[in-house]
Structure 1
Amino acid sequence: METPELPLEIITYILSFLKASDRREASLASRRWYDASQDFQFQRNLTFNFPASISSLDLIRGLSRHPCCSLVINHLDGSSMSRAVLQQIGCHLGPQLKSLSLPGSSVTESSLLALLPQLTALRRLDLHGLDSLFMSGAFLSREDHRQQVRVALASLEELDLSDLRYLSDLTFNRLTGCTPRLQRLSLAGCHIAFEFDPYRGCPVGPDSSALLSLRNLRRLLQEQASTLQGLDLSRTSITPESLRSVAQVEGLSLKELRLRGCKELTDSSVEVLCKHQPGLQVLDLSACTELTYRAVLAVAVGLKGIRNLSLSRNWRVTDKGLAELMALPDLRTLDLSECLHVTGAEAVKGLSAPEPRARLETVSFKSCTYIRDLAVFSLAQLLGSSLRELDLTSCVYLTDLSVRAIATYLPGLAVLRLGWCKEITDWGLLGMEEPAKGV
């Protein structure tokens, strides 16, 4: 006697209790379970990534059944095929598209301007590296085009303009003038004139047609201070004075700031930043190679609500200040990779202190060659069930003792990286004592 099949509604109800990864495994049981896993309640915030091609036209039409989705479309250009792809997106997905990203593309201005007015639900727009739009300086130069785009992008929350070589004050103002409620803005890798115009050898004036200037950026921050929460200025030539200027914009209260690879920043500029932006929850100071323990102390003292902190590749950072950092109860992610002078001793000291203390979920000591078994043993005991991800790649002096400590004290660990830890053996990974030679 065959077991009767469960109704699709019951299977869907059962799947609703599972995590996405478990739901994916369950969907392989049979065609019926697969059909149940495709229910719309499981397909929120989906991102579809595909190249511009003739086969993608049918895919776009099929996506119209989804209540909302996000698209990443690669290799768009000025061809008729690319124009047809954008037309299909506007026709079938316009009112339900939440996010659009166009990496590796050279889309024409006319094609994009035909699409944008139809994307009335768009919350995130990623134009990073799309130099073809900004090279001529004519993007959104017509008032009628700006008016159409302004209506469509009135609720846009996130704008990525990173790695644009030809972004100027004029084009930046035209575009951001259509996005009055930005929450996150990325200008990573852009050529921003923070001090002076390299072409004229004098301070940059407003509305430059050749450069994006600090004055102009400050003007946007002032205008949208009430909504803007995240700013990415990574890989720019921002100076200490410029960072102080940004941090002190009246009414600006950032929650996220990324300054990865800003090599001119100093400890004093980070101290000013922490004083004037105490609400920061995410701070990336990776590869800001002039920073020392003073910057770490400034974060510990000034950013009581910090959750994610990256100090990777800051070779002057030492253990000093890490004990104070461990007293921040909201700290969840700490990246100290390639901080070559960190031993972990001060982190252990801070975590050993009475509450409140950090409940770290993700920690990276990658290439911290001074990390030893004793530090790992102590950290494993102190972090206990909170730690989910630990990166010890290239901590070359760790031995099987560290592996045993991790296996014993970190039951909730989901990700462990031990690449290039040359003293760790197969016996340690198996949880066994290496037999004495000759036995």
Structure 2
Amino acid sequence: MQKSCSGAFLMRLPFSFQVITYILSFLPIADRKEAFLVNHTWYLAAQDSLRQVKPTPPAALIRVVPSLAAIESLARRHVSCVSLTNLDGSTISRDVIQAVSCHLGQHLRSLSLRGSSLTETSFMHLLLACPCLSSLDLSGCNCLFMSGMLLSKPETIDQAQRALANLQELNLSSLRYLSDLSFNRLTGCMSRLARLSLARCHIIFEFDPYHGSSNYNSSALLSFRNLLSFLKEKASSIRALDLSGTSISLQAMRSLVQVEGLHLQEFTLQNCRDLSNEAVSLLCVYQPQLTSLDLTGCSELSDWAVLAVSAGLPALGSLRLGKLQRLTDGGFVRIAELRSLQKLDVSECSRVSGSELVKACSSPELRPNVASLSFAFCSLLQVSL
């Protein structure tokens, strides 16, 4: 017999129930609510995990669900960046959306709805009240894309085009239900988009679902072919791309970096487990103007990739190489050639002692520019006093 946190007794709970409850405890509340729909066991486990959520302290509650007076105070200060995370269909959330729309909308330049369970109606209401947005974060807003009906009506598309006319940055990371169709509808309303994140989205790289067709409007999947079409169309404006946590392949990288007119300045590829040294070399050849590159956790990369970066990206100012277990000091013998480098992260690289980096940072060509250097958790690092 086992007692749940609510005080009720559950008879002979199966081991799987306890495992599911434990796993759900790490998920956002919105995802736990979705777990109700799987089956009876998951329903009970989700209920139990929700009971175990610690009460939010009053001070934090004000930040998450601000009072009308607090929102009005922010409006008087002309606050331009707001984060409204974990909104749902509750009365409190609707009141917050209404208040933000009324008092802050005209001033907002950046809006984050990360992890919220918004309906399209609430989303459009908020969007139309913010005509000056330049940055929009919809990461983890799975409910908004689950039905596939977002912006499906002509009148809502017209409204979204007006509201998103100035948008330059869009975060669509961690969306399980994002499809080519919903992606095309949304990005089609943004004529000035410069920064796009599709981190941890399930992008289909190898399989071609269209068999040569140019009508990329699948409502079931998000394909690299469609993303490539988008980049070709927006090549003159896109400057930053985040494909972290995806299975981008060598062939996909070859096609992406050679898009005519595409000149990326920032490329984030954290935890791309299939990213190869050759793919990084191609990136350096065809996108030499990069100023920021993040290869953290790309486990297949070795010294070859870093040598290619040193030789091929002369404008690079920020380079992140954390958690590359195949990387050694040999990868840094040409790092001094990156004379614009200001930030370098090699944290958790267990085979890096720092000897070559010390030599590089001692050279007059590189030393004045490096402002941030991280060796965190590099077990071979030796410090001499």
TM (norm. structure 2) is: 0.80
Residue number among 296, 315, 320 corresponding to 2:330 in the alignment: 320
Q: Residue 215 and residue 316 in structure 1: after superposition, are their counterparts in 2 closer, same or farther (change >3 A)?
A: same
Residue 301, structure 1, aligned to residue 299, structure 2: no
Structure 2: distance between partners of 1:51 and 1:164: 25
Aligned match of 2:53: none
Quote how far apart the aligned CAs of 1:57 are: 2.1
Question: Structure 1 residues 324 and 238, CA, compared in 2 at 3 Å: closer, same or farther?
Answer: same
Shift in Å, 1:358: 6.2
In structure 1, the residue matched to 2:13 is: none
Q: Percent of aligned pairs with the same residue?
A: 48
Residue 247 (structure 1) aligns with? 257
Residue 168 (structure 2) aligned to one of 157, 166, 172: 157
Task: Confirm or deny: 8 A CA contact 2:171 2:196 kept in the other structure.
Answer: yes
Kindly tell me: are residues 212 and 175 of structure 1, through their superposed partners in 2, closer, same or farther at Cα, counting changes over 3 Å?
same
Whole-Å Cα distance in 2 between the matches of residues 175 and 188 of structure 1?
Answer: 17
Which one of 254, 266, 276 corresponds to residue 276 of structure 2? 266
Are positions 1:131 and 2:142 aligned together? yes
Aligned to 1:224: 234
Residue of structure 2 aligned with 1:78, choices 89, 93, 104: 89
**Cα deviation 1:40-77 (Å, max 9, x = unaligned):** xxxxxxxx996553x52221122221334211113211
Q: Is the CA contact 1:52–1:85 (under 8 Å) kept in the aligned structure 2?
A: no
**Aligned counterpart in structure 1 of residue 348 of structure 2, from 338, 341, 348:** 338
Determine helix, strand or coil for the equivalent of 1:125. Answer: strand
Q: Is the 8 A contact 1:282 1:306 kept in 2?
A: yes
Measure, in 1, the Cα distance between the counterparts of 2:61 and 2:359.
46
- CA root-mean-square deviation: 2.1
In the alignment, structure 1 residue 364 sits paired with structure 2 residue 366:
no
2:199 corresponds to which residue? 188
Unaligned runs of at least 5 residues, structure 2? 1-59
1:218 deviates by 1.0
| Alignment-derived partner of residue 131 in structure 2 | 120
Q: Which has the higher contact order (CA 8 A, sep 6+)?
A: 2
Summarize the Cα distance change of 1:201–1:263 in structure 2 as closer, same or farther, 3 Å threshold.
farther
Per the TM alignment, residue 202 of structure 1 is displaced from its structure 2 partner at its CA by 7.5
CA 1:76 to 1:352, structure 2 compared with 1: closer, same or farther past 3 Å? closer
Cα deviation code 1:301-360 (max 9, x no counterpart): 110011110111111111113131123221111111111111111112323445355621
In 1, Cα distance between the equivalents of 2:62 and 2:149? 29
The correspondence for 2:111, drawn from 100, 117, 125, is: 100
SS at match of 2:330: coil
What SS does the corresponding residue of 1:185 show, helix, strand or coil?
A: strand
Matches of 1:362 and 1:354, distance apart in 2: 17
SS state at 1:71 partner: strand
* Deviation string, structure 1 residues 118-140 (Cα, Å, up to 9, x no partner): 21111111000000000000001
Structure 2 counterpart SS, 1:264: coil
Matched, 1:110 2:121: yes
Take 2:61 and 2:322, find their aligned partners in 1: how far apart are those partners? 30
CA contact (8 A) 2:210 2:216 kept: no
* Alignment coverage as a number of residue pairs: 325
Contact 1:182/1:227 (<8 A) preserved: yes
Structure with max Cα Rg: 1
Given candidates 177, 180, 183, the residue that maps to 1:172 is 183
CA contact (8 A) 1:323 1:351 kept: no
Q: TM-score, normalised by structure 1?
A: 0.70
The letter of the residue matching 1:222 is: K
Shift of 1:271: 0.4
Say if 1:49 and 1:172 are closer, same or farther in 2 by CA, change over 3 A. farther
Q: Which whole-Å deviations, capped at 9, do the CAs of 1:351-397 have from their partners, x for residues lacking one?
A: 344535562111111221211124xxxxxxxxxxxxxxxxxxxxxxx
> Is the 8 Å Cα contact of residues 52 and 81 (structure 1) preserved in structure 2?
no
